Amino acid sequence: MPSPAIAVTGATGRLGGRVARRLAAAGVPQRLVVRDPERAPQLPGAEVATAGYDDGLAVEAALRGVPTVLLVSASESPDRLRQHETFIDAAAAAGVERVVYISFYGAAPDATFTHARLHWATEQHLRACGLAFVALRDNLYLDFMPALVGDDDVIRGPADGGRVSAVAQDDIADVAAAVLLDPARHDGRVYDLTGPEELTLAEAAAILSAHLGREIRFHDETVEEAYASRAGFGAPGWEVDGWVSTYTAIAAGEMAGVSDVVPRLTGHPATSLAELLARR
Q: What's the average model confidence in pLDDT over 169-179?
A: 98
pTM: 0.96
Confidence of residue 264 (pLDDT cuts 50, 70, 90): very high
Tell me the per-residue pLDDT of 39-68, one tens digit each, with 9 for 90 and over.
Answer: 999 999 999 999 999 999 999 999 999 999
CA pair distance 58, 52, nearest whole angstrom: 7
Please report whether residue 44 resides in a domain: yes
Q: pLDDT by residue (tens digit) across 6-21?
A: 999 999 999 999 999 9
Residue 3 confidence class, pLDDT cut points 50, 70, 90: confident
Query: With 0-12 CB in 10 A as exposed, 13-18 as middle and 19+ as buried, what is 111?
Result: buried
Range of the domain at 96: 6-138+168-194+258-267
Q: Residue 182: give its domain's CATH number.
A: 3.40.50.720
Under the banding of pLDDT at 50, 70 and 90, the label for residue 280 is confident
In a domain, 120, yes or no: yes
In a domain, residue 26? The reply is: yes
Inside any domain, residue 1: no
Q: Is 146 a member of any domain?
A: no
Residue 1 is predicted with a pLDDT of 57
User: What three-state secondary structure class fits 62?
Assistant: helix
Residue 156 lies in a domain: no
Asked, for residue 263, whether it belongs to a domain, the answer is: yes
Total domains, the chain: 1
**Residue 36, pLDDT above cutoff 90:** yes
98-104: strand order across its sheet: 46-50, 30-34, 6-9, 68-71, 98-104, 132-138, 190-193
Q: Do the domain assignments include residue 79?
A: yes
Sheet strands (E) in 83-210: 98-104, 132-138, 154-157, 163-164, 190-193, 199-200
**What is the C-alpha separation between 98 and 225, in angstroms, rounded?**
44
By percentage, how much of the chain surpasses pLDDT 90? 97
Give the separation between CA 117 and CA 200, rounded to whole angstroms.
23
| pLDDT surpassing 90 at residue 122 | yes
Q: Which helix (H) or strand (E) holds 211?
A: helix 201-212
